[in-house]
Structure 1
Amino acid sequence: MAPPPAIAPYGAGKHRPGGRHIPDSGLLRENYNGAIRFLMQVIGYVGITYASATEATTIFNLVPGFPFLFAIIFRYQTFIQESLT
C-alpha cells in the first residue's frame, strides 16, 4: 500500500540502496508540516477570493465550528442530548 501523496516525499529517501540510513530530523519534519499548513491556508484563501462574497462570508463564519465538531468526533467534548418529551 502506497503512502498518501502528502506523506510520500517525507519517507521516500530514508533508506538508500547502499545501506546508509538517513537520520530522521525533527526539525525537518516540523518545517515540512509547517510548509504544508502554510500552502493549505494560501490555497484556501486564494480559492475564497475567486468565490462570491456570500460564499466567502459563509465559509469564514463556519470555520470556528470545525474545531468543536472535531472535538465531538474525537471525544474531547461531550454532547448532551436531552429528549424534548
Structure 2
Amino acid sequence: MDNIIRKRRPYERCEASVREAILHEISTSNLSIKAISDKYFINPRNVRTWLYRIRKSQEKSVSLSSERHEMENQAISVVESMA
C-alpha cells in the first residue's frame, strides 16, 4: 500500500499589483466580496482586511491634512498679528 503524503502549499502572500487589481474590481463591479474572493481563490477575510486598511489610511491622511491646514491657519494668524 502506497502511503502518499500530501504536502501543503507554503503560505503565499498576494502581490501588491494583484491586490490592487482585486480591490479595483470590487469598487467598479457589482460583484460581492465573496464572489470576487471565489473568483481569485482568496479568503474573503483577507479582502475585507485590505479594504479596512485602505479606509484607515484614508482617514489618517484626511486627519493629517486637516491638522496641517489648522496649523497653517494658526501660523497665518500669528504672522498677521505681528504685522
TM value normalised by structure 2: 0.38
TM value normalised by structure 1: 0.37
Which of the pair has more CA radius of gyration?
2
Specify which structure has the bigger relative contact order, considering alpha-carbon pairs within 8 angstroms and separated by 6 or more residues.
2
Give the helix-richer structure, 1 or 2. Answer: 2
